[in-house]
């Protein structure tokens, strides 16, 4: 195995200088092999549930938008027509000011596909190593020891023709399950040895971000090189400011998802983008603007433009102009989209 390209950012097409990264979405999916099982959506008693077996198409968006994890075809991010659609949307992202995407799939990534997408679109793609929640993993993976998990993650970072440039999203449910704890311990050891960037997915409970960071840091993880995902579906203002004391990057990565009827939690109402913008401004006003990253976390077809969704360009086309109207300076936007991702991803 070779050494990491220190001072550089590792993309699927090779290392790049930090100043080549540009405006970056820090939490997206371009390919995956997800099923409804790990998301555990609430059962629907609607007589229209039969639509969950239909192909995704715009004239069913009225159903899919409210049942995104029950509609099976909506999780299909692996067939060629969908992958070609995603590639076209990456080209559109490039046209609208987006330069780079952090691809955080740890439930069936495809490095060859990511390289193809990057070549065709001109968008830098930084791929993630690691593992998703225990319930998403097959038996032979769930049985791996901490040492075996460490070896596999390290190999993704250091070996092969196409290499990962970040570890994650490493995910947990709430409370953390044994396999997830072993993944966190293995990831923390790798980060403490190599200084690699890490991105974590907390369970859907307000105590989950603190729990996962505590386990991770007790095992040697570095808060300053770690992003905590999904805080916009997890913490209120008071909880967010308290959690910020840990010192990790604070990620709001569900921009464009404006359906408050959150299928995966009956205890939390999904915010809209205006609420996200307001909450991030609260962090900025508290002096935390250099610890924010943002994204869309697109992993369902109904959020792609072809199927009636907002697409990967939504932040650049719609959110940034709204931020300016809400008192964000150009420096704030530069930090969120360029400087913070660059500092986090540089090896």
| pTM of the predicted protein model | 0.97
d(C-alpha 223, C-alpha 53), whole Å? 42
Q: Is 96 exposed, middle or buried (0-12, 13-18, 19+ CB in 10 A)?
A: middle
Residues 6+ apart with CB under 8 A from 161: none
Q: Which residue has the higher pLDDT, 229 or 268?
A: 229
Place of tokens 């190593």: 129
Say if residue 37's pLDDT is above 80.
Answer: no
Q: Across residues 215-239, what is the average pLDDT?
A: 98
- Whose tokens are 């997890």? That residue is 234
User: Distance between CA 133 and CA 135 in Å, rounded?
Assistant: 6
pLDDT for residue 44: 81
pLDDT band at 267 (very low <50, low <70, confident <90, very high): confident
pLDDT the model gives residue 2: 66
SS3 at position 221: coil
Collapse the DSSP code of 46 into the 3-class scheme (helix H, G, I; strand E, B; otherwise coil) and give the result.
coil
The 10s digit of each residue's pLDDT in 75-133 is: 999 999 999 999 999 999 999 999 999 999 999 899 999 999 999 999 999 999 999 99
Task: Tell me the per-residue pLDDT of 317-332, one tens digit each, with 9 for 90 and over.
Answer: 999 999 999 999 999 9
Confidence of residue 233 (pLDDT cuts 50, 70, 90): very high
- Tracing tokens 């994204």 back to the chain, one arrives at 295
Domains of the chain: 16-37+45-345 (3.20.20.140)
Provide CB contacts within 8 A for 220, sequence distance 6+.
188, 189, 191, 192
> How far is 154 from 168, CA to CA, in rounded Å?
12
Instruction: Give tens-digit pLDDT for 123-163.
Output: 999 999 999 999 999 999 999 999 999 999 999 999 999 99
Per-residue confidence at 237, pLDDT binned at 50, 70, 90? very high
Handedness of CA 92, 93, 99, 105 (dihedral sign): negative
Residue with tokens 């359906």: 259
For 176-197, write each residue's pLDDT tens digit: 999 999 999 999 999 999 999 9
pLDDT at 241: 98
pLDDT band at 292 (very low <50, low <70, confident <90, very high): very high
Share of the chain above pLDDT 90, in %: 91
Mean pLDDT value across the chain: 96
pLDDT at 210 over 60: yes
What's the pLDDT band for 263 if we cut at 50, 70, 90? confident
Model confidence band, residue 208 (pLDDT cutoffs 50, 70, 90): very high
Helices (H), the chain: 61-64, 80-95, 111-121, 139-142, 146-158, 178-194, 208-218, 237-243, 273-285, 314, 320-325, 330-334, 340-345
Q: How far apart are CA 116 and CA 118, in angstroms?
A: 5
Query: Which pLDDT belongs to residue 45?
Result: 81
Predicted confidence (pLDDT) at residue 1 exceeds the cutoff of 70: no
Percent with pLDDT over 70 in the chain: 99
User: Can you tell me the distance from the alpha carbon of 234 to that of 232, in angstroms, rounded to the nearest whole number?
Assistant: 6
What are the tokens at 236?
């209120």
**For the chain, the helix, strand and coil percentages under 3-state DSSP, each to the nearest 5:** 45, 10, 40
Instruction: List 294's β-bridge partners, or say none.
Output: 252
Rounded to an integer, what distance in angstroms lies between the CA atom of residue 31 and that of residue 108?
8
């Amino acid at each position: 195995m070779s050494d990491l390209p220190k001072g550089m950012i590792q993309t699927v097409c090779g290392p790049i200088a930090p100043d080549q990264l540009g405006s970056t979405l820090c939490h997206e999916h371009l390919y995956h092999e997800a099923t409804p099982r790990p998301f555990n959506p609430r059962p629907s008693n609607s007589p229209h549930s039969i639509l969950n077996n239909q192909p995704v198409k715009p004239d069913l968006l009225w159903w899919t938008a409210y049942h995104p994890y029950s509609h099976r075809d909506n999780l299909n991010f692996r067939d060629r027509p969908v992958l070609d659609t995603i590639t076209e949307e990456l080209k559109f992202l490039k046209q609208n000011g987006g330069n780079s995407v952090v691809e955080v799939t740890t439930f069936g990534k495809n490095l060859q596909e990511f390289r193809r997408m990057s070549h065709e679109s001109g968008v830098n793609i930084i791929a993630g190593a690691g593992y998703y929640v225990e319930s998403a993993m097959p038996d032979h993976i769930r049985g791996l020891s901490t040492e075996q998990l460490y070896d596999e993650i390290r190999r993704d970072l250091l070996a092969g023709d196409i290499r990962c440039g970040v570890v994650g999203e490493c995910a947990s449910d709430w409370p953390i399950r044994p396999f997830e704890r072993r993944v966190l311990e293995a990831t923390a050891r790798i980060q403490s040895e190599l200084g690699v960037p890490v991105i974590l997915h907390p369970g859907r409970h307000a105590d989950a971000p603190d729990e996962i960071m505590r386990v991770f840091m007790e095992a040697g993880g570095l808060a300053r090189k770690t992003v905590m995902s999904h805080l916009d579906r997890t913490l209120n203002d008071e909880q967010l400011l308290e959690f910020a004391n840990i010192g990790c990057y604070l990620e709001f990565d569900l921009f464009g998802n404006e359906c408050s009827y959150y299928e995966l939690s009956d205890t939390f109402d999904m915010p809209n983008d205006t609420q996200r913008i307001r909450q991030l401004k609260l962090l900025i006003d508290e002096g935390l603007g250099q610890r924010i990253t943002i994204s869309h976390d697109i992993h369902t077809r109904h959020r792609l433009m072809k199927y009636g969704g907002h697409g990967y360009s939504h932040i650049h086309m719609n959110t940034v102009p709204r931020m300016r109207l809400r008192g964000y300076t150009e420096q704030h936007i530069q930090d969120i989209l360029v400087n913070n991702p660059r500092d986090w991803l540089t090896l």
